[in-house]
Structure 1
Amino acid sequence: MQIDILPNNVYTVGDDKRGYVHMKSCKQMAMVWGISERRVTGFCKEGMIPGAVKVGKRWQIPDDAKRPADKRIVTGRYIKSGVENEKKPLPVGISDYIRAQLEYYYVDKTLLIKEFLDRKAFVSLFTRPRRFGKTLNMDMLRVFFEISDEDTSRYFTDKAIWKCGDEYRKHQGKYPVIFLTFKDVKYDSWEATFAKISGLLQEEFGRHSELQNSDKLEKYEKNYFEKVLNGQANEVELSASLQKLSKMLAIHYKKAPIIIIDEYDTPIQEGYSKEFYDEIIGFMRNFFSGAFKDNSNLSYGFLTGILRIAQESIFSGLNNLTVNSVMDEEYDGFFGFTESEVAEMLAYYGASDKEEELRSWYDGYFFGNKEIYNPWSVINYLSRGCLPQAYWVNTGKNEVLEDVLNTATDDITEKLYSLLQGDRVIARIDQNVVYRSLAEDPANIYSLLLVAGYLKTPKKELQGDGAWLCEVSIPNREIAAVYKSEILSHLMQIGAMGRATANKIAESLYAQDTKKLQDGIGEYLKKSISFYDAGAEGFYHGLVLGLIALMDNQYRIRSNRESGDGRYDISLFPRENKYPGMIMELKWDKDLNDEELDALSAEALDQINKKGYDTEMREEGVADIIKFGIAFSGKKVKIRTE
């Protein structure tokens, strides 16, 4: 037997029968198998790993070795029949394909490669919400297609793409690849943004250092390469970097490269929000045009992003761009988790009994015709011991929302409140709007909310102009929580004071403390609105809905529904019998004194009884019902209860 020591402490063991086999240390294999180094050493000592050899004082293991079965009895979360069933850890925040599929539980999305090779789109743009697996999928494409000194086919031999035949396998490892991700390019100025992009290009040029010594490139090309590599290229020179690098790679390898740009629109969104939109658009237009428009040194191009709305200003004239959005059926199951993938994951971790809870919190998206779960939230839910929380809301928010919400009309505001109550609203979804038009037409808010992951489309119909007429609704309980923290708070302009007041109102309802409730609403009115805001009953209706939205864990909140002989304003249906039901009737009039305001609240309370607004609630078995007559005039409020 022959043992050779190679760089990086990798041993190669060979003999006439086996040839050469790459070896790993116990520590490296422990990371791959997700167990302790001590356990791996124990397996070696017991002769449970075929091919393991001891070199000096350390064991070396073939890197394709399978983890031995372990019969020890242990305690823990996922145990079946008293036998330990060690599980791979969950890939929280992992977007490196090699690491994800080697060391973690990996949901196989490699058939995305087959789908692409079947369609052979020259340049593909995939638009999906944040944290839906875009970066991991793009890195998978890079590893699959990229020429490498390492045999990277081993990362796919046990995946679905490998079973599809030689027609697809022959593309593996055959292309030079340019890969950039802009997901972290989030800065307040163009200068800082350009510096970050320059640094990313330096790193990518450095990844192709073989070009420095290529005998196939001209001297001026090498000089340009060195200039970028040393961080000396100016804005104009860098705007042509993708075009020039693709040409150099094509000459060196005699094969046109693949260009992958992940989260292309992140710096553009920042530019729009931070007021350097013209600078970023001017740069990106030339940057992408050189890469994807009339580039003879390109095999294929892939881009991902959240929004499609920069297409007009950046990709104008790019006729070979194929856009795949949340509305399209193509590639609909490759971003996010499908129902079957989630069921398999739950079974693997012994948590199949949590399927219903998981569905209510993180399911509900529709991409094309497929129902999709939020992958980030599913992974975090399982990794936190099946604790349901709004994980996605903490991954960063879309700042463009603020600009759009500032333009929301009364009609849009009312619809947003309706969505929060679980209703569906009709909306026109136009995927071709550009950033500058968002503030011009407030109705674009629905298009933005849909592609950003805040809405789903249970029903849709394509129109003649390419837009969609849709029924939209909130996908799940997690996004309902997001609405409260991001959208509802903005609409109500709830700052630190406002949120404290909203909490006080929720507490007063819970404690059935009418005086505290009146004080809380009055405090909010005095500190948060002007007399010009207080215009009509609809305004106060929306305000109260917003303030009591924090109660939706205990109550199902309904608004403007028929019951008895009329339509009540707001009802709170208890989710558990220990809570009382609540009915609110709101009245408003101008310039009322305290006595008149008190009389108006009495009239509101009397209307609840006369119209029988409690009929619906009693039919659902709620016996204990509190009735509120609430009267407003300017910044004053009076509440009567029964």
Structure 2
Amino acid sequence: CYYVDKTPYALRLIREGGHYFLSRPRRFGKSLFLDTLKELFEGNRELFQGLAAETQWDWTKKYPVIRISLGDGVLQSRAELEQRIQAILRTNRETLGLPRPADWPEVDTAGNLSHLIAQAHRSTGQRAVVLIDEYDKPILDNITDAPTATAMREGLKNLYSVLKGADEHLKFVFLTGVSKFSKVSLFSGLNNLQDLTLMPEYSAICGYTDEDVDTVFAPELPGLDREEVRRWYNGYNWLGTSVYNPFDLLLLFRNRKFKPYWFETGTPTFLIQLLAERQFFTPNLSQVVAHEKLLSTFDVDHIPAEALLFQTGYLTIHDSREPLLGNWVYTLGYPNREVESSLNMALLTGYGLSEQHALGTRLALIELLQTRNLAGLEPLFHALFAGIPNDWYRKNQLAQFEGYYASIFYSYFAALGLDIRLEDTTNHGRIDMAVLFNNEVLLFEFKVVELTPQGKALQQIKDKGYADKYRARGEPIHLIGVEFSKDSRNVVGFEVETVHV
């Protein structure tokens, strides 16, 4: 059994403040951290042997803890939400051994929570601790149904508003969730809630660091390629130390196989639909630029794709800068190979390709790359686009999106988990896509012939001297110009030229 000690974070939070919020993707250890706080406040010292809290916590004090988790099941109406909250509060009252007052407001969830907090304080002599897990799940479960999602938001807003008025009875408050809804929409009045999400010192509050892997989990590493472990699963970052998703690592150590464990636990159907509907150029997913307000602006009727991708864990922070005092800009990208490969694989079905068709093409693409048969790429992708049903084009406007064909092309390579460099900067311009595989370099330039005269894609690679950047590798460099036509809905130009160094 392995223990990664997160109690120093808990001790610091308790020492420095009292009301916190943390947004992290699903299966990142948020619930476990809340459990740690709960056991700490309840004084269960035996659970902390060998951890920092064992010698740094006052075990003579015990606090009443109210634990609310909205993560179980799917609630489909405001009435179901109210019933669930009432049941949770009844369970908390029974766990704390508190009698039900005669004036208990059974049908008033906000009043119920307010009474419970005050009663817990009066009965124990210690101010209460409130821990709320998956605070936003009832909204996210209904995000494609705006009226229901709005009703859920209003119900939760009513509940959370209690926390401000009950401040005199509260020792500590901690809320966690996946999304970060705007304060106006969900936390109106709760202006004392400190958001830890983008605080560098708490970047590793959930998840495992490289140091954790090399020390705590050292016995599990023999037999695994350490660098591949890092490439596949590390890289999530919130302006501080990068971390691994715990769910991924624990299953890797158990099964000894590299697989998209985290990604497979939830199909991002809504996300795929949103990216397709908004004609998001998928190569741009590796380098999204956003400001802080955009990342935190999330609501039922306003869902920026960048905010959704970041908050749900499909993109993470790669860089931050302050071009103007007080104005921070972040560069987002995939956290690791697992996410890049799996998300692009899922995106292919959102762009009109059947899963079976996409699988067959991926297998054929792997074989062509492994055998260095680059000429075979043209008929492969020509057959791919020709196989998209005409009826799909009739029902979707995506084919008119300039980046549609290049997005599919890129997503196939990304789905294989290859080393891909997008918009790769040189001293003469930017290479659309560079692929490093099998000790060879593939440089791609994409053009739409309705916008650029045919035959210009390969010529641009040569004219700009894009190969120069990779000559020092001493590997064959393949220059590949790919041209698409929106009218014929297919590849109409495909040229390959190899540079030997």
TM-score using structure 1 length: 0.66
1:638 aligns to what? Answer: 492
Q: Which residue number corresponds to residue 177 of structure 1?
A: 65
Partners in 1 of 2:233 and 2:274 — Cα distance? Answer: 25
Give the CA deviation at 1:321.
1.3
Alignment of 1:189-588 (within 5 A): 189-208=77-96, 210-212=97-99, 219-221=102-104, 233-234=106-107, 237-275=108-146, 276-325=148-197, 327-349=198-220, 351=222, 354-385=225-256, 387-397=257-267, 401-402=271-272, 404-405=274-275, 408=278, 413-414=280-281, 416-420=282-286, 424-430=287-293, 431-436=295-300, 438-439=302-303, 444-461=304-321, 468-486=328-346, 488-489=347-348, 492-496=351-355, 499-500=358-359, 502-503=361-362, 506=365, 509-510=368-369, 512=373, 513=376, 514-524=378-388, 526=390, 528-530=392-394, 533-535=398-400, 538-553=403-418, 556-558=419-421, 570-573=433-436, 575-577=437-439, 581=442, 583=444, 586-588=447-449
Superposition deviation, residue 246 in structure 1: 1.3
CA spacing shift, 1:580–1:184, aligned 2, 3 Å? same
Q: Structure 1 residues 320 and 405 mapped into 2: Cα distance closer, same or farther (>3 Å)?
A: same
Letter in 2 for 1:427: A
Q: Higher relative contact order by CA 8 Å / sep ≥ 6: 1 or 2?
A: 2
Residue type of the alignment partner of 1:426: V
Please, which runs of 5 or more residues in structure 2 have no aligned partner? 497-501
- The offset of 1:123, in angstroms, is 1.6
1:118 aligns with 2:5: no
Alpha-carbon shift at residue 324 of structure 1 (Å): 0.9
Amino acid at match of 2:98: L
Q: 8 Å contact 2:181–2:299 — kept in the other structure?
A: yes
Shift of 1:142: 0.9
Query: Does the 8 Å CA contact 2:289/2:330 hold for their aligned counterparts?
Result: yes
SS in 1 for 2:409: helix
Contact 2:406-2:446 within 8 A present in 1 as well: no
Retained in 2: the 8 A contact 1:560–1:569?
yes
> If you compute each CA radius of gyration, which structure gives the higher value, 1 or 2?
1
Residues 262, 464 of structure 1: alpha-carbon distance in 2 compared, 3 angstrom cutoff: farther
Q: Report the AA paired with residue 390 of structure 1.
A: P
Q: In 2, distance between residues paired with 1:607 and 1:333? A: 44
CA distance in 2, matches of 1:462, 1:611: 32
Q: How far did 1:603 drift?
A: 7.0
The separation in 2 between residues aligned to 1:193 and 1:342, in whole angstroms, is 40
Contact 1:112 1:334 in 2 (8 A): yes
* Greater Cα shift, 244-253 or 186-195: 186-195
Stretches of structure 1 lacking an aligned partner (at least 5 in a row): 1-87, 89-104, 225-232, 591-599
Instruction: Rate the CA distance shift 1:508–1:189 in 2: closer, same or farther, 3 A.
Output: farther
CA-to-aligned-CA distance 1:385-425 (integer Å, 9 cap, x gap) = 2x22221102325666357535635xxx33x41344xxx44
Deviates more, 1:557-566 or 1:452-461: 557-566
Q: Which of 427, 431, 450 is residue 589 of structure 1 equivalent to?
A: 450
Secondary structure of 1:371's counterpart equals: coil
Distance 2:18 2:191 in 1: 10
**SS where residue 27 of structure 2 aligns?**
coil
Q: Distance in 1 between matches of 2:421 and 2:268?
A: 28
- Percent identical pairs in the alignment equals 23
Measure how far apart 1:248 and its partner are.
1.9
Whole-angstrom CA distance in 2 between matches of 1:113 and 1:515: 58
Taking the aligned partners of 1:462 and 1:569, their CA distance within structure 2 comes to 27
Contact 2:77 2:151 in 1 (8 A): no
Aligned partners of 2:201 and 2:459: how far apart in 1?
Answer: 57
Q: Distance in 2 between matches of 1:211 and 1:113?
A: 27
| Cα distance change, pair 549–509 in 1 and its aligned pair in 2 (3 A) | farther
Distance 1:576 1:183 in 2: 44
Say whether the 8 Å CA contact 2:239–2:317 is kept in structure 1. no
* Match in the other structure for 1:144: 40
Q: Distance in 2 between matches of 1:379 and 1:309?
A: 30
What is the DSSP-based 3-state SS (H/G/I as helix, E as strand, rest coil) of the residue aligned with 2:191? Answer: coil
Paired residues, number: 487
| Superposed displacement of residue 260, structure 1 | 0.9
Residue pair 1:134, 1:304 contacting (<8 A) in 2 also? yes
Q: Which of 162, 184, 201 pairs up with 2:54?
A: 162
Structure 2 CA distance for partners of 1:619 and 1:527, relative to 1, 3 Å: farther
Q: Given residue 279 of structure 1, which amino acid in structure 2 is its aligned partner? A: A
Report the residue type matching 1:109 in the other structure: K
Distance 1:545 1:332 in 2: 31
Using the alignment, how far apart are the partners of 2:191 and 2:143 within structure 1? 25
Query: Aligned equivalents of 1:547 and 1:354: distance in 2?
Result: 25
Deviations 1:106-147 (CA, angstroms, capped at 9, x unpaired) = 21111123202320x232112222222111111111111126
